[in-house]
């Protein structure tokens, strides 16, 4: 059978084949469902260990997911408790969901270029009940920190929300995280701290 040049051109039209591993039938393998080999796990661990921002923690802990954030590294170094870490992570999530509600720019964009991507805080439809709940939770947490002192509120936002080093504000950060941990029921209330009574806040 003779194929004309015009027929060949028609056959070659179409989208470029997407890169990636495929099943025997030719269908692309979903990376999220693909099995991760031991070699890939070992490589990921090596890469994590040598990332500059993880060098604050001992080498044996650098592959820990917590080492990827300022809050996590403080916990791995023993500067804040596990409950403080959980409280800070919770507060960061509360702020993120509230900012999504009011469609504020994401303080930690989901891409290097800062362009909003799926799951990074872009505009989505939020039901009225969920919107009310998010605002209520945010207001309660923010008012709690603000009542202790603006410096405490700023210290918590600086590290837990914006993922920046605590620096000289570590003591204020711990006071704020302790208050959030009690608010969340992660720890039991303690007596008013000396720092608060002496006006350090």
Per-domain residue ranges for the chain?
38-68, 78-197
Q: Look-up: residue for tokens 């004309």? A: 4
Radius of gyration of the chain (CA): 24
Residue 39 has pLDDT above 90, yes or no: no
Q: What is the mean pLDDT of residues 89-110?
A: 82
For position 136, what pLDDT does the model report?
96
Given this model, what pLDDT does residue 194 score? 39
Query: Cα separation of 178 and 87, whole Å?
Result: 8
pLDDT for 200 equals 41
* Distance separating alpha carbons of residues 60 and 48, to the nearest angstrom: 11
Query: How confident is residue 114, by pLDDT bands cut at 50, 70 and 90?
Result: very low
pLDDT for 170: 94
Spatial CA neighbour of 183 closest among 161, 151, 156, 150: 156
> Comparing 156 with 194, which gets the higher pLDDT?
156
List, in order, residues 6 or more apart from 28 with CB less than 8 Å away: 18, 20, 21, 22
Note the pLDDT tens digit of each residue in 43-92: 666 556 656 566 666 666 656 667 778 898 888 888 999 999 999 999 99
Q: If you average pLDDT over residues 105-130, what whole number do you get?
A: 58
């Amino acid at each position: 059978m003779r194929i004309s040049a015009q027929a060949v051109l028609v056959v070659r039209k179409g989208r470029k084949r997407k890169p990636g591993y495929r099943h025997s039938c030719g269908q692309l393998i979903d990376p999220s469902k693909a099995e991760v080999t031991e070699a890939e796990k070992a490589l990921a661990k090596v890469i994590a260990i040598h990332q500059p921002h993880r060098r604050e923690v001992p080498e044996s802990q650098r592959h820990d997911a917590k080492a990827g954030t300022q809050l996590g590294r403080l916990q791995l170094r023993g500067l804040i408790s596990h409950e403080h870490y959980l409280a800070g992570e919770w507060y960061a999530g509360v702020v993120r969901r509230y900012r999504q509600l009011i469609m504020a720019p994401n303080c930690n964009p989901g891409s290097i270029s800062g362009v909003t991507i799926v799951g990074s805080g872009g505009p989505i439809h939020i039901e009225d009940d969920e919107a009310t709940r998010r605002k209520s939770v945010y207001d309660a947490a923010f008012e709690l920190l603000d009542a202790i002192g603006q410096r405490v509120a700023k210290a918590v936002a600086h590290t837990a929300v914006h993922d920046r080093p605590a620096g000289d504000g570590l003591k204020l950060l711990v006071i704020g995280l302790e208050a959030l941990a009690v608010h969340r029921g992660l720890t039991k209330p303690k007596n008013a701290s000396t720092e608060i009574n002496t006006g350090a806040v």
